[in-house]
């Protein structure tokens, strides 16, 4: 396992991290086994969120880490509505103070290594959010602050806000990134490098598409996200089906599986510090870790670029958020809406 520092200011972590959104897919006992196996394999970054299972994933993760908490960099996120309640969401100081204590209790720990705003909150001034993060760091409840799915301009604004008010800046940004979701290459990643912000890639296999589980003429696996009705993973996506065939050939030419190609691709970008894998079972974790030592040649990366060009999101819905400038309130005069 390779290790690196998250940007210039973050903690040192394994380049593969454990994402836990689907960790309860095979039950609580399997989740405990999976977490311990990941740690034994050298994964030191474990990422979760309060909204996963409305707190249940944090609770299970806290139990699984008993006796091993100090061996990992524990990251969690806040900001999306808990139990669908929009009053328990966002990046306001009031909600952050409450949310961090809730997460600490569920995770059975007295500090969070990396605390991240799950999505931008246009209703809260960024100065307030940055100041609240700094307050939590001073209190010892949080070691580092980070963002998730921020645009390039929002990353700059958060860095400026920290400088303006004398607070500690965000150390990390967590972005969707895969061969099928390359929008971050347009501006986000270069902005992160300029401001020495470490990038954590999530969904590096695009919801299972880059494992090859969805293929032309094959039945959709019963336990897949597509079979569950996930609107962002449609197994009938003809564009992605055709691209998977072409990418599978590239992987085979390189002596790799499609999964290995997909995971190694994310770590080949100089802005990416770590990439999150999200297995549901211990067996899936073993399969994913086969990509740990893979490094792609320039020729292979060029072949990938010829299939999905740099900066392209094959399905724009996979970008994780709507650009702020496209929100109704940003592109229409409020006094005229509904008039």
d(CA 82, CA 84): 5
Active site members: 52
Phi, psi of 265 (to 5 degrees): -55, -45
* DSSP codes joined into one string, 3-51: EEESTTTS-EEESEEEE-TTTTTT-HHHHHHHHHHHHHTT--EEE--TT
CB burial of 178-210 (b: ≥16 within 10 Å; e: otherwise) equals bbbbbbbbeebbebbbebebbbbbbbbbbbbbb
Tokens for 67?
């006796």
Burial class (CB in 10 A: 0-12, 13-18, 19+), 251: buried
d(CA 321, CA 254): 34
Sequence-distant (≥ 6) Cβ neighbours of residue 193 within 8 angstroms: 270, 271
Place of tokens 């959104």: 21
Sequence-distant (≥ 6) Cβ neighbours of residue 300 within 8 angstroms: 250, 253, 254, 261
Can you count the helices (H) and strands (E) in the chain? 11, 10
A 10 A CB-CB count for 306 gives 10
Q: State how far the alpha carbon of 312 is from the alpha carbons of 33, 182, 185, 263, 304, in Å.
A: 37, 5, 8, 17, 12
């Amino acid at each position: 396992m390779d290790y690196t520092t998250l940007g210039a200011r973050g903690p040192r972590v394994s380049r593969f991290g454990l994402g836990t959104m689907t960790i309860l897919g095979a039950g609580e006992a399997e989740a405990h086994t999976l977490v311990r196996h990941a740690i034994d394999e050298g994964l030191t970054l474990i990422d979760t969120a309060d909204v996963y299972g409305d707190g249940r994933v944090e609770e299970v993760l806290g139990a699984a880490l008993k006796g091993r908490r100090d061996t990992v960099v524990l990251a969690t996120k806040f900001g999306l509505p808990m139990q669908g309640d929009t009053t328990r969401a966002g990046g306001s100081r009031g909600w952050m103070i409450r949310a961090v204590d809730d997460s600490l209790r569920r995770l059975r720990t007295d500090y969070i290594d990396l605390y991240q705003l799950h999505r931008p909150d246009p209703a809260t001034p960024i100065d307030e959010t940055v100041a609240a993060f700094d307050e939590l760091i001073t209190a010892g409840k949080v070691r580092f602050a980070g963002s998730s799915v921020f645009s390039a301009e929002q990353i700059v604004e958060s860095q400026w806000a920290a400088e303006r008010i004398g607070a500690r800046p965000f150390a990390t940004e967590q972005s969707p990134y895969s061969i099928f979701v390359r929008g971050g290459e347009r501006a986000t990643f270069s902005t992160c490098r300029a401001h020495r912000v470490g990038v954590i890639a999530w969904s590096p296999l695009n919801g299972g598409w880059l494992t090859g589980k969805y293929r032309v003429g094959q039945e959709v696996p019963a336990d897949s996200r597509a079979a569950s009705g996930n609107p962002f993973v449609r197994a009938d996506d003809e564009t992605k089906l055709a691209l998977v065939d072409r990418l599978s050939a590239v992987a085979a030419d390189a002596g790799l599986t499609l999964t290995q190609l997909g995971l190694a691709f994310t770590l080949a970008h100089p802005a990416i510090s770590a990439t999150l894998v999200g297995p549901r079972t211990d067996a899936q974790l073993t399969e994913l870790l086969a990509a740990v030592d893979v490094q792609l040649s320039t020729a292979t990366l060029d072949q990938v670029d010829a299939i999905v060009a740099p900066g392209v999101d094959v399905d724009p819905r996979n970008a994780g958020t709507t650009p702020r400038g496209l929100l109704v309130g940003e592109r229409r005069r409020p006094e005229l809406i509904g008039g």
